[in-house]
Structure 1
Amino acid sequence: MFSDLVTDDILDVLKRTCVVLGRSSQNVIVQKRQKSLRDGDFCVPKGCFQINMEEFDHLKKSLIEESKQWVCPLREVKSDSYNSMLISLDRPLTYKTVISSVLRLNGQSPCLQGSKDAMLSVELQKQKEAKPTQTDLLEKTVLVCVPECDDCRSLDQLRGLVLTQHVVNLLHRNGLKTRLASFGDNVKVQKWLDLINFNMDIIRDSKEDCDVKNILDLARQSKYKLSQRSNDEEGNKVVHSETTSEHSAHKIKSDMLVLDAEKYLSSVSKEKGIYDKNLGKIHITDNDGITDSSIQIAHLQKCIEKMDQCDCVLHIIPDKKSFQLQKIDLGMHMLFGNTPNQIQMVFGSVAERKAPAARKIDAEEFYNLRFSQMKEASVMKYGECVKGAGWHQTIQNLTVASVKFELLLNVSRNTVKLDLSETNDFGGGVDNRAGAFVMYNCARLATLFKHFTKAVEDGIYPPMPRLESIDFSLLREEDEWTLFFNYIFPYNDIVRSTVVEMIPTKGIYSKIGTHKICNYLIGLSRCLSSYYSHTHVLVENRPNLLSTMYARLYLLEAVHTVMKDSLHLMGICPPTQL
């Protein structure tokens, strides 16, 4: 929210001022900096926009003056040998506005009141008007098809479940409504759904529940129907019904039902090049009777009919299933005509690093390995007290977090490679320990605030003052601003960016940034760990120290809030203590 908002505001002022100066602004780029923030938070590189001193003075004056009305005003504009402009925010006001917004969204702080809230609403409305492509997603209802998991034995199936849960949470956070549909009703998968906190209502159907009569009727009447005969030795058409036994297959004289996808695609020019070129025919029935394609089409149509509104169907599928889902998509278009768009989020497989070709670990073995490693690490740190139901639940939460981080760390289409060394350092890989590292840092903050609350109850500290009375100019450390500017300031923009390309402008493949929150948390935890290791937050109760302590506590409360929120988006329960 704030990062994109300020970037757009700066760019808008520069372009309008360039018009006044009579010069082109076509190549102007405003970049958010990650390092050396002491010199500036945003920059305009000289490589894309060169200006003379007179133009610089004019642009600087326009930026400073207009930014006085922004929710995050500017403090300074300068230049150096590489950048035409280096732009710095007013840090105290930015701290206050952004932290206020973060805590208000979670109902945790009294925060700011009055004009600033109104100003923020105006700025947010400006952003919505400026970026209609993002707000087009609001209020849409998406049918999310849960990948087939059977008993969730394979790691690929487990990855599909974890991705689905994260995707649904991201869609909800960005204002979309969802319904979930699952083809099959295997009770064994429920164990995994409970374990990973996948507590969502799912429309379930099995093959036996699917009534394909309507599909057959529509296919016989379709203008895209092809006729192909398939006879047994006596010249009779053999049809095996999926709902009857093999021996009770009945013989009827009939034509095999096939739809001509090539004919359909040639009649809809805009669809050319979107689908696989090998999609020629779609079998509704074949030598064995009703095809899987027919059953899946019937299931999907039944799910859509159960919804009050369906704007889009999102299939989360392994790469090998993409071709079959294109058949379902085209089959529904040919049979039903005006049907919701279907898009695919394809995910890669899960493999083991340096594993023998013959060895293939399953999901349960992987989970048990991580659980035993977590338990061993806990025993080494806390001793023999690690036992009982409470510790079992804690270790289980840590294990689930570890598994999810490993499966979400990469771009969804890429292969995940797991290090399955049986040592308690998880093989020494950074990605293997990421989940435990993030959970530890979140627990540190939870413990810090418990200690502070207890100290207030014991009369050691006065109660936390209202945020509007905090002097954030006391946060003078660059580590504090780096932590804030790189992780709290752009948080809502990062969450929003995960679904911007969910509905592709061309094609059928959806891009959802399922790796972004995971990597964001790892970066945030590293930055927090570095800051926390050399900063003593809870200090002595002395007037000259308390003001800084309160400012830091509000900063860390905002950090804790975005960490917990990110973990919830991943379906992970945030830890409450070390």
Structure 2
Amino acid sequence: RHRVQLLPTLRSDSDVENFLQRLGVDWPSTAQPSPNQDTVSGFKRLLSGSCYTAACSPGIAHESSHDALSEGVQFKVRLKQILEERGLQGYDPNLDVFLEVEEENLAEVTELKEAVLKVPTDNLVKWSLFSQDSPGGCMVLHIVCSEGEFQQQKIDLLWRILDAGTCTSNQRHLVCGPVKVAGCDSPVNTSQYVRIRRSQMLEASLTKYGDVIQGESWDDLIGVMTSAVVRFEMLAAAHRSPMTVDLTEEASVSTKGTKGGAFVMYNCARLATLFESYHRSVQQGFLYKAASHTSKKKILLIFPQGEWLLLFNYIIAFPEVLGHSGQLLRPARGTRVTANTEVVCKFLVHLSMDFSSYYNRVHILGEPLPHLFGQMFARLHLMRAVQEIFIHALETLHIPPLNQI
């Protein structure tokens, strides 16, 4: 488990905040976020006397330079110097001088520092996340688009100059590729994107279930499904690569398709419905008895050949899949890290395909006859393991499992 502090604090009612809220992401926000001016002023004083400072604005004394700066610029800072002195690797080779250090840059560093101070020292991503259990007790993960990586590396190095703490020495960058839209002639913002996916999710549900799709409970369910579909779509793309949001009719959301989050969530819900039906029958006392604690050896002997696919390819393989995906907090040379969320998404899609094929072929809750109970219990144990894989895999993506369809 990791303790996480999220930055930056978003302005209330901003497009980003509204988008995150619709996805069920609890990101801190405030009406008017503002940095601690005392800390900003302290950073100014530090830079005015720093050996890394090449120039400063009028009114701030500095013995080595009187270069004129453009309005709003406070300092020019030699970044290449700290790179060479500390032997830092993986940074852009074009980093030389931070030509225009403005007050907003110092405010950004201030917010980073203050966030670290709020977290207990033993529990230590800007779009940074502060996480415990990383080397040195704290890691700062800068999540940036490819166009913003160069600027964020400047902030990284500026913070190292201003505050030589543990966290500043353990900064990493998760770089995301651009987002492209297919199937739409005009630009699409985040609100329109979510609205289109919700409309598609509603249409898919109406096609499958008909007129029962109405009322507040169904509205909530469509909202949960839409959030899951959007999250899954974004996390299924390798973060380093461009992500294409396909809004064409051919790419419409469907619980029958085998590529997206809707299909995964639908099959996760099928399992929940299966066990709900079984337990309801047991409680009513006229169909099945409660599953016995059949030994693993007996369960394996009962399995038909086709069920080994789920066991070997998914249940046994799941820890290895998590190992491939969980590289974010591992020590790495250089500044970049990788989050292989697409590995988990691909695993879930393939699991959904094979589980769906199995579920449509095999009648798990068979006739309530005593001589068939052994096989039924073995299949229920298998389905319980598959359900746990669905739940845990979705949890790694911060997507809550769906319990009804």
SS in 2 for 1:177: coil
* 1:186 and 2:16 matched: no
Shift of 1:493: 3.0
Choose 485-494 or 462-471, whichever is displaced more.
462-471
| Structure 1 counterpart of 2:172 | 343
* 1:441 and 2:264 matched: no
Verify the 8 A CA contact 2:43 2:162 in the aligned structure 1.
yes
| Structure 2 counterpart of 1:292 | 104
* Aligned residue identity for 2:231: K
CA distance in 2, matches of 1:540, 1:314: 55
CA distance in 1, matches of 2:183, 2:255: 14
- CA deviation digits over 1:472-497, x for unaligned, max 9? 13333232111011111122332233
Verify the 8 A CA contact 1:284 1:293 in the aligned structure 2.
no
1:429–1:279: structure 2 CA closer, same or farther, 3 Å change rule?
A: farther
| Structure 1 counterpart of 2:139 | 312
The TM-score normalised by the length of structure 1 is 0.60
- CA deviation digits over 1:517-544, x for unaligned, max 9? 2111111101101111211111112232
| Structure 2 counterpart of 1:481 | 308
Structure 2: segments with no counterpart, 5+ residues? 60-65, 125-137
| Structure 2 counterpart of 1:381 | 208
Verify the 8 A CA contact 1:317 1:347 in the aligned structure 2.
yes
Verify the 8 A CA contact 1:185 1:204 in the aligned structure 2.
yes
- CA deviation digits over 1:351-400, x for unaligned, max 9? 123554xx221111111111112212222222222111011111111211
* 1:212 and 2:24 matched: no
**Pick aligned residue for 1:416 from 239, 243, 246:** 243
The TM-score normalised by the length of structure 2 is 0.84
% same residue: 28
| Structure 1 counterpart of 2:133 | none
| Structure 1 counterpart of 2:346 | 519
| Structure 2 counterpart of 1:455 | 281
Shift of 1:502: 3.4
Verify the 8 A CA contact 1:179 1:202 in the aligned structure 2.
no
Verify the 8 A CA contact 1:446 1:576 in the aligned structure 2.
yes
Shift of 1:299: 1.7
| Structure 1 counterpart of 2:115 | 303
CA distance in 2, matches of 1:480, 1:237: 75
1:257–1:478: structure 2 CA closer, same or farther, 3 Å change rule?
A: same
Verify the 8 A CA contact 1:315 1:342 in the aligned structure 2.
yes
CA distance in 2, matches of 1:214, 1:489: 55
CA distance in 2, matches of 1:465, 1:371: 43
Verify the 8 A CA contact 1:377 1:424 in the aligned structure 2.
no
CA distance in 2, matches of 1:417, 1:437: 19
Count of matched residue pairs: 379
Shift of 1:265: 2.2
Verify the 8 A CA contact 1:539 1:545 in the aligned structure 2.
yes
Choose 559-568 or 489-498, whichever is displaced more.
489-498
- CA deviation digits over 1:398-438, x for unaligned, max 9? 2112212211112111111122124684499967x511111
Structure 1: segments with no counterpart, 5+ residues? 1-171, 242-254
CA distance in 1, matches of 2:245, 2:348: 20
| Structure 2 counterpart of 1:224 | 52
CA distance in 2, matches of 1:201, 1:466: 47
**Pick aligned residue for 1:562 from 382, 389, 393:** 389
**Pick aligned residue for 2:76 from 224, 235, 258:** 258
SS in 2 for 1:257: strand
**CA RMSD in angstroms, aligned pairs only:** 3.0
1:315–1:470: structure 2 CA closer, same or farther, 3 Å change rule?
A: same
CA distance in 2, matches of 1:417, 1:469: 45
1:544–1:343: structure 2 CA closer, same or farther, 3 Å change rule?
A: same
Larger radius of gyration: 1
Verify the 8 A CA contact 1:348 1:415 in the aligned structure 2.
yes
| Structure 2 counterpart of 1:362 | 189
Verify the 8 A CA contact 1:183 1:204 in the aligned structure 2.
no
1:276–1:483: structure 2 CA closer, same or farther, 3 Å change rule?
A: same
SS in 2 for 1:264: helix
SS in 2 for 1:515: helix
* 1:277 and 2:103 matched: no
CA distance in 2, matches of 1:429, 1:528: 13
Shift of 1:511: 0.8
- CA deviation digits over 1:445-465, x for unaligned, max 9? 111111111221222111111
CA distance in 2, matches of 1:261, 1:304: 23
Verify the 8 A CA contact 1:441 1:525 in the aligned structure 2.
yes
SS in 2 for 1:278: coil
- CA deviation digits over 1:335-354, x for unaligned, max 9? 22344211011111211235
Verify the 8 A CA contact 1:316 1:346 in the aligned structure 2.
yes
* Aligned residue identity for 2:90: I
| Structure 1 counterpart of 2:400 | 573
| Structure 1 counterpart of 2:292 | 465
- CA deviation digits over 1:2-30, x for unaligned, max 9? xxxxxxxxxxxxxxxxxxxxxxxxxxxxx
Shift of 1:553: 0.1
1:519–1:563: structure 2 CA closer, same or farther, 3 Å change rule?
A: same
- CA deviation digits over 1:144-187, x for unaligned, max 9? xxxxxxxxxxxxxxxxxxxxxxxxxxxx3xxx332222244333
1:527–1:574: structure 2 CA closer, same or farther, 3 Å change rule?
A: same
| Structure 2 counterpart of 1:47 | none
